[in-house]
Each structure stands twice: as structure tokens, then as C-alpha cells.
């Protein structure tokens, strides 16, 4: 296939926040990067400094916007914010830790951990709804930039959907892959299909340390 028809995608989770470190669910709550998260964003930008990036898209939430701004700095690019790239809406569970959720609503905690695709966790968004929203947006972006390389800064739950779309895994399948803060993940889009090139490249973060292992599912909320 001609390279002019292929879109190269850098899909990146935002840098660490203090709530990541505390194991507290963020969802749509607008949390900024921690000092470590800001350093991670700087390291990410440096790691990609010599690569051509033709466009930068980001969730409109602050933690993603700050990460995207670091990547776009020094490039003739404006970060394009998208509500469709937001994290999953966790409803009444937002702001809580996994332990608090399990204590308050153990039945819902079990259903969430079981990854029931239609379950609206905390009364918020289901996995089916999240997947339709964010993979639909990734497809739209990829179609806009054939032959280009595009960076997309989003969230753990969103990247989980991207990974599943690229490798053909159902929403209910247990997660075994890592999605570390500010790690680099690479996809291709061609003929209406996503494929996986590389995942969770975090060599640029060596020495920084983190309390979050990137498993953005119970008991590791995003």
C-alpha cells in the first residue's frame, strides 16, 4: 500500500496526576498534572523531538492538554481539543478510590471489574458507549490525515479502546497490557482498519519513577 494512504498514529496517555498516584478515579474531573507528570510530558516531547508530527489532538481535560502542549511546543502546530477523547465518565464513582467504591457499592464494583460492556459504571458511561465515542473520533482524525503522523493525547480508558480496536479484542476480554503515563504507543490506519506497531515505549521516562503501573482498570482506576 502507498504510504500516502496510511496514517501513522502516536496515541499517548497523559502524564501522571496526583490522583493517579492516590489511586483515585478521575473520569471527567479536571485534574492537572503532578510535578512528576509535567516532567514526564517534557521527556515525552524530547523523545519525539526529531520525529515529524503533522497534527496534535487532545482530550479537552487539563491533564491531557498539558501533556499535548509540551509535545507541541516548538512546533508550528496548535493543539486541537476534542471532548470525544475524554476519559470514560464514571458517574458517582468519580473522585473515589477503588476501595471506597467496593465498600459503598460492592455489586457495582464486581460488575465493573467483570468488564460488562453495557454496564454504566457509577451511573455514567458504559464500555460500549466509550468505545463508540473515542474509536469513532480516532477514525475521524485518521481519515483527515492520510500520509501523515498524528499525535493523540488522551486517557487510560480511551487508549484501552484504541488497543482493542487495533488487535481485534472484545471489550469484555481481561486486560494484560500496560498503558503507562506519557508512554509512546504507535498505531497505523489504512483501508478503514487500525493495526498495532508498538506499545508502551517508556524508555524516555527512565529514572523518573511512578506509583502508577498504567493498568487503568480495577483496582487501578484512571
The string of DSSP codes covering the chain is --GGG-EEEEEEEPPP-HHHHHTB--TTS-PPPPHHHHHHHHHHHHHTTTS---EEEEESSHHHHHHHHHHHTTSS---EEEGGGSPPP-GGGTT-BHHHHHHH-HHHHHHHHTT-TT--GGGS--HHHHHHHHHHHHHHHHHH-TTSEEEEEE-HHHHHHHHHHHHT--TTSPP-S---TT-EEEEEEETTEEEEEEEEE-GGGTTT--S--S--STTS--
In the predicted structure, residue 190 carries a pLDDT above the cut 60: yes
Per-residue pLDDT at 49:
96
pLDDT (mean) for 81-109: 97
Catalytic residue chosen out of the listed positions 14, 89, 155, 204: 14
Known catalytic residue: 118?
Answer: no
Q: For 59-82, how does the pLDDT look when each residue is reduced to its tens digit (9 = 90+)?
A: 999 999 999 999 999 999 999 999
Q: Which of 16, 42, 87, 94 is catalytic?
A: 87
pLDDT exceeds 50 at position 217: no
Looking at residue 4, what is its pLDDT? 74
Position 2 confidence tier, pLDDT thresholds 50, 70, 90: low
Distances 199 to 15, 32, 82, 99, 203 between C-alpha atoms, Å: 16, 25, 23, 29, 12
Active-site residue flag, 14: yes
Predicted pLDDT of residue 215:
36
Evaluate if residue 16 carries a pLDDT over 90: yes
Question: Tens of pLDDT along 37-60?
Answer: 999 999 999 999 999 999 999 999
CATH code linked to domain 3-205:
3.40.50.1240
Higher pLDDT, 26 or 4: 26
Q: What pLDDT score was predicted for residue 210?
A: 59
Average pLDDT score, the chain: 93
Amino acid at each position: 500500500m502507498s504510504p500516502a494512504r496510511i496514517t501513522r498514529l502516536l496515541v499517548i496517555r497523559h502524564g501522571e496526576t496526583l490522583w493517579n498516584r492516590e489511586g483515585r478515579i478521575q473520569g471527567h474531573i479536571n485534574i492537572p498534572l503532578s510535578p512528576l507528570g509535567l516532567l514526564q510530558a517534557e521527556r515525552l516531547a524530547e523523545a519525539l523531538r526529531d520525529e515529524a508530527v503533522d497534527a496534535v489532538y487532545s482530550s479537552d481535560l487539563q491533564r491531557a492538554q498539558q501533556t499535548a502542549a509540551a509535545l507541541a511546543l516548538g512546533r508550528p502546530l496548535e493543539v486541537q481539543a476534542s471532548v470525544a477523547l475524554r476519559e470514560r465518565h464514571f458517574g458517582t464513582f468519580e473522585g473515589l478510590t477503588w476501595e471506597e467504591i467496593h465498600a459503598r457499592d460492592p455489586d457495582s464494583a464486581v460488575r465493573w471489574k467483570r468488564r460488562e460492556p453495557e454496564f454504566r459504571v457509577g451511573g455514567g458511561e458504559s464500555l460500549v458507549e466509550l468505545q463508540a465515542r473515542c474509536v469513532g473520533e480516532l477514525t475521524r482524525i485518521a481519515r483527515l490525515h492520510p500520509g501523515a503522523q498524528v499525535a493523540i493525547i488522551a486517557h487510560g480508558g480511551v487508549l484501552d479502546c484504541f488497543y482493542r480496536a487495533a488487535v481485534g479484542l472484545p471489550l469484555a476480554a481481561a486486560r494484560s497490557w500496560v498503558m503507562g503515563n506519557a508512554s509512546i504507543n504507535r498505531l497505523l490506519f489504512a483501508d478503514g482498519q487500525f493495526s498495532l506497531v508498538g506499545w508502551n515505549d517508556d524508555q524516555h521516562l527512565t529514572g523518573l519513577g511512578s506509583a502508577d503501573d498504567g493498568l487503568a482498570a480495577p483496582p487501578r482506576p484512571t
